[in-house]
Every structure is written in structure tokens, then in C-alpha cells.
Amino acid sequence: MITMKVVFCDVGGTLWPNRWPSQPGDREGRISRLRDALPWVSPDQAARLIADLSMVEHPSSEEQRTTAVVIDALRRSGLAGRVPPRSVINAMCIPARGRVDPFPGVAELLGGLADAGVGVVVTSNVMWRDGEAQRRDFEDFGLATWISAYVTSLDVGWRKPHPRFFDTALTIGRHAPYDCVMVGDSERNDIEPARARGMLAVRVAIEEPTPPTTRANHVCSSLREVADLLLTLTRDPDGE
């Protein structure tokens, strides 16, 4: 028998695509946001800094390295010690709306869980996007009313699958692991650590083929399938 009080839900690759196409105005928008926050930074300085950081992906580390990456870029641009890294991170964070569309079924999943009294906590590895930025994205998509909390690696300081990330998520979720379900697309980052903690895990295979092997309890190829599964489990806890 299982209980389900909280669903931890990954974002990229799970609720909407993991990669977004660049748009012509992205660079100028980032420069504008940086100079709005720090008007004394010249247009050339801002352009060089944004161009540098636009080429960067998060290092292969479970420790969140965004601030360190920004400090290195500030040093290269001659702005080290003069520009707060947080201002740069905020400038780099491009809103999701207009650049990506949620996968079909996202409203049925999140709304259905909320209507069933199940809390939904967003749990996401990110580069620039903290919990407040995630909240704005979900508001823009009309989905925020169904989300209880946002847990991002930028806020925690550690990335999935690190135990500290899941410690934080469970603390915020306020329930024991056996009362929680993890929904995600990554075996390493979502499924394996969730199962190791005793959670039920649902692997989403939307952008990728169905995995040949998985530790997940269930594999779903659409969010509507996830919604049907989880809402069935709220009515029939023995249905695992």
C-alpha cells in the first residue's frame, strides 16, 4: 500500500522541453536587464559579459557552480568585485513564456493533483533560474496556482542527485519519503535517488524513447498518462 501526500516534479524534459531555441532578442534582453540593474556598466562591458556567459553550461558537478562561473566571467571582463553576481544571474535568466510550450497534459496533471489534495513541489536543476524565476514562469503559463513550492539547485546550492537537494525538497514537502512520489525524466537525477529514499518514482519518456531498463515503478510516455496513473493511485492506494 502507498500513500501520496506530495509529488516532486522535475521541469525540463518532464513538464516542458529541456532545451529551448535561442531567439534573436535574447542577447539584447539580457544586456538591457543587466544595465537596468547596473546603469554604470557600459554597453560594451555588458555585451562582452553576456556573450561570454551565453556560451557557458553548468560544469559537471553536483555542487551548484553558477556563482563561481559568473565570478570567473566578471574577472575576464574586468568587472570582478564591482558587479554583484546575483545581478548577472538575474539578467541571464530569460523567461520561459514565448520560448517553450508545456507538454500536453500538464494542466490535467498539476490541476488534478491539487484537486485531490496532493501537494506539488517543483524540483529542478538549473543554471540561472531560481525558485522565484520558476514561479514567474509557472504564473505566465497559468500553472502556478497548483504548485506548493519551488526547489531549485540554485537556491539549494546542490544539484540532483545530491542528497542535500533531496533533503531540502523533503523538508519543504513536509512529508516522509514513503508519502512522496517523484516524477522526472532522468534515471540518474530523479529516479535512482528517489527510489533510494523509498519514494515511488514515475519516469517520463516524452523527449526520449522508453528506457529498456529503469528503477522507476512506472514509465509514462505522456503527462496525461502520468495524470491518469497518479490520480488512480489517489483513489486506489493499493494499485502500485
Residue 1: pLDDT over 50? no
Q: State residue 240's pLDDT score.
A: 52
pLDDT in tens, 167-196: 999 999 999 999 999 999 999 999 999 999
Q: State residue 4's pLDDT score.
A: 87
Q: What gap in Å lies between CA 235 and CA 227, rounded to an integer?
A: 12
Name residue, grid cell 490541476: 111
Q: State residue 238's pLDDT score.
A: 56
* Average pLDDT estimate for 233-239: 66
pLDDT in tens, 95-115: 999 899 999 999 999 999 999
Residue 137: pLDDT over 80? yes
Cβ atoms of residues 12 and 122 within 8 Å: no
Top mean-pLDDT range of 57-61, 97-101, 139-143, 210-214: 139-143
pTM for the whole thing? Answer: 0.91
Cβ atoms of residues 130 and 155 within 8 Å: yes
Number of alpha carbons in the 13 Å side-chain half-sphere of residue 186: 18
Q: State residue 220's pLDDT score.
A: 96
Q: What gap in Å lies between CA 216 and CA 224, rounded to an integer?
A: 18
